Amino acid sequence: MTGALSNEPLWYQLLIAVIKASVLMGALLGVTGWLVLAERKIIAWLQGRPGPNRAGPMGLFQPVADVLKLLTKEESIPPFVNKILFIAAPAIITITAMVSYAIIPWGPNPVWGAISNLNLGVLLFLALSSLGVYSIVLAGWSSNSKYAVLGGLRATAQMISYELSLSMALLAAVMMAGTLNFQLIVEAQRPFWFILLQPLGFFIFFVSAIAESRRTPFDLPEAENELVAGFHTEYSAMKFALFFLGEYMGVILLSGIMATVYLGGYQGPILPGPVWMILKIAVLFFVFVWIRATYPRFRYDHLMQIGWKWLIPLAVLNLIITAVLCLTFPNLVPNAIH
């Protein structure tokens, strides 16, 4: 709530926020379509096939064609659904994902670096990501069909479980940085990136992030071979597209958080901050895609076991180790709480 602009008039603060938000949203919405294309292309190459190549050169206009198709498709709402929640559900996931982008820092500038240079950024991220679950739960329930309900139940259990390890991994990094502000977390990584100090934390966060974004090998909620399409079985056209959008924005968001917290954020030689950020996000996104193309899907009980019996104890262990480290080697992490 406090920032570099707090002494400026309200209208000025608002204007700047609107400008920043529109630039980022425009870029994000535009880029997501091509990220889908990138994922399809990468997977296609990994699988030895050309991938989409009909719309435009190398299939570059495929996202345009997809969006046009989704926009012009009939909006069908099945007669047996709970209408209000059925419509609200896809909106929630997209909105929570979009709002979360406000806190990612793209540069060191306190005004232009992030949309909202929030002191409690980490908490806001956790709050919004925990709200994303509602989208899935409500989609599953309001669809009023069996596969959707099963998918919704799976998703809820999975996302609640993995959120714990995700936040605990993040807390260890916060402890080292001594702040909940993402920009300050980046600044705290001037000597070392946190991936070097928190390898275990990074691993836990990465695994939990895959589970949170419901991608292979944690894509049980929409496991097509078992549940047809899981919670979004009954969705079509733009409402389906919103789920799709939400999923991809979630992946980029989590990559962004990982880049910020563990990979030194916008830091890097020569190139400007935002470029480094985009590069790091791209690398992480590629790893997401790579994993999706490689691994089979977990079984439900194994998933829960991994979450509760491995990741959470590991995260607690990581937390304790970090605390001990911070207290014994105060010079290693100068910003940490002592």
* Per-residue interface string for the shown chain with other proteins, residues 33-62, x marking contact by CB under 8 A: ----------x--xxxx-------------
Q: Is 137 in the site for other proteins (CB under 8 A)?
A: yes
119 neighbors 1 (Cβ within 8 angstroms): yes
**Which of 39, 51, 298, 333 is in the footprint of other proteins by CB under 8 A?**
298
- Give how far Cα 303 sits from Cα of 208, 211, 219, 264, 319, Å: 11, 9, 10, 30, 22
Q: Is 83 in the site for other proteins (CB under 8 A)?
A: no
285 neighbors 255 (Cβ within 8 angstroms): yes
* Least CB distance to other proteins at residue 275 (A): 31
Q: Is 172 in the site for other proteins (CB under 8 A)?
A: no
Closest CA to 230 of 301, 298, 146, 157: 146
Please, what's the b/e burial string for 214-234 (b: 16 or more CB within 10 A of its CB; e: otherwise)? bbbbbbbbbbeeebbbbbbbb
* Least CB distance to other proteins at residue 230 (A): 11
* Least CB distance to other proteins at residue 154 (A): 8
The number of residues making up the chain comes to 338
Distance, in Å, from the CA atom of 335 to the CA atom of 45, rounded to the nearest integer, reads 44
Q: Is 146 in the site for other proteins (CB under 8 A)?
A: yes
* Per-residue interface string for the shown chain with other proteins, residues 229-268, x marking contact by CB under 8 A: ----------------------------------------
3-state helix vs strand vs coil in the chain, percent to 5: 70, 0, 30
- Give how far Cα 310 sits from Cα of 103, 120, 126, 292, Å: 30, 29, 21, 21
**Which of 24, 111, 123, 287 is in the footprint of other proteins by CB under 8 A?**
123
For other proteins, the closer of residues 41 and 280 by Cβ is: 41
For other proteins, the closer of residues 67 and 87 by Cβ is: 87
R_g of the chain, CA atoms, integer Å = 20
- Helices first, then strands: H and E counts in the chain: 13, 0
Q: Is 326 in the site for other proteins (CB under 8 A)?
A: no
Distance, in Å, from the CA atom of 205 to the CA atom of 198, rounded to the nearest integer, reads 10
Task: Identify which range of 56-64, 136-144, 240-248, 256-264 contacts other proteins by CB under 8 A.
Answer: 136-144
The size of the interface with other proteins (CB under 8 A), counted in residues, is: 54
Q: Is 292 in the site for other proteins (CB under 8 A)?
A: yes
**Which of 6, 7, 225, 331 is in the footprint of other proteins by CB under 8 A?**
225
* Least CB distance to other proteins at residue 76 (A): 18
Q: Is 335 in the site for other proteins (CB under 8 A)?
A: no
Closest CA to 254 of 204, 315, 308, 199: 204
Distance, in Å, from the CA atom of 85 to the CA atom of 9, rounded to the nearest integer, reads 39
**Which of 38, 295, 308, 321 is in the footprint of other proteins by CB under 8 A?**
295
For other proteins, the closer of residues 46 and 70 by Cβ is: 46
Distance, in Å, from the CA atom of 38 to the CA atom of 81, rounded to the nearest integer, reads 34
Which residues sit at the interface with other proteins, rule CB under 8 A? 1, 10, 43, 46-49, 85, 119-120, 123-124, 126-127, 130-131, 133-134, 137, 140-141, 146-147, 149-150, 152-154, 156-157, 160, 163, 180, 216-217, 219-220, 223-226, 228, 292-302, 337
